[in-house]
Amino acid sequence: IVMTQSPATLSVSPGERATLSCRASQSISSNLAWYQQRPGQAPRLLIYGTSTRATGIPARFSGSGSGTEFTLTISSLQSEDFAVYSCQQYNYWPLTFGGGTKVEIK
């Protein structure tokens, strides 16, 4: 399953909303996760099951979608949210990731 993320880079001002997209090459039901990776750090699970926030993840992060089209929304960007976000499908093996969206400060 090929996962395609857009855009590759998103420039956003602090406090603004960010919307990230992820598309699967075929239906993956709701088996979609989002990860955040800050520079020099390991990825961190943000969202699983398309829309369920992982433990400790703030409510400003939300996920939606189904089938082949998915969205991660960050409602009001904080300084610590500027990072790379990757989607991953886990409906089929092998697990596959999107190429990532870098959210940078505008």
Partner 1 sequence: EVQVVESGGGLVQPGGSRRLSCAASGLTVSINYINWVRQAPGKGLEWVSVIYNDDTTDYADSVKGRFTIARDNLKNTVYLQMNRLRSDDTAVYFCASGVPLDVWGQGTTVTVSS
By the criterion CB under 8 A, which residues form the site for partner 1?
Answer: 33, 35, 37, 41-45, 48, 54, 86, 88, 90, 93-100
Q: Which is nearer to partner 1, 33 or 83 (CB)?
A: 33
Q: Which is nearer to partner 1, 10 or 33 (CB)?
A: 33
Cα–Cα separations (whole angstroms), residue 15 to 1, 3, 58, 78, 106: 34, 28, 14, 6, 11
Q: How far is the CB of 91 from partner 1 (least distance, A)?
A: 10
Q: How far is the CB of 16 from partner 1 (least distance, A)?
A: 25
Q: Which is nearer to partner 1, 21 or 96 (CB)?
A: 96
Q: How far is the CB of 6 from partner 1 (least distance, A)?
A: 14
Nearest by Cα to 85 from 104, 59, 66, 106? 104
Cβ neighbours of 56 (radius 10 Å): 8
Rounded to whole angstroms, the Cα distance separating 82 from 99 reads 17
Q: How far is the CB of 10 from partner 1 (least distance, A)?
A: 16
Element (H, E) at 100: none
Element (H, E) at 51: none
Q: Which is nearer to partner 1, 77 or 88 (CB)?
A: 88
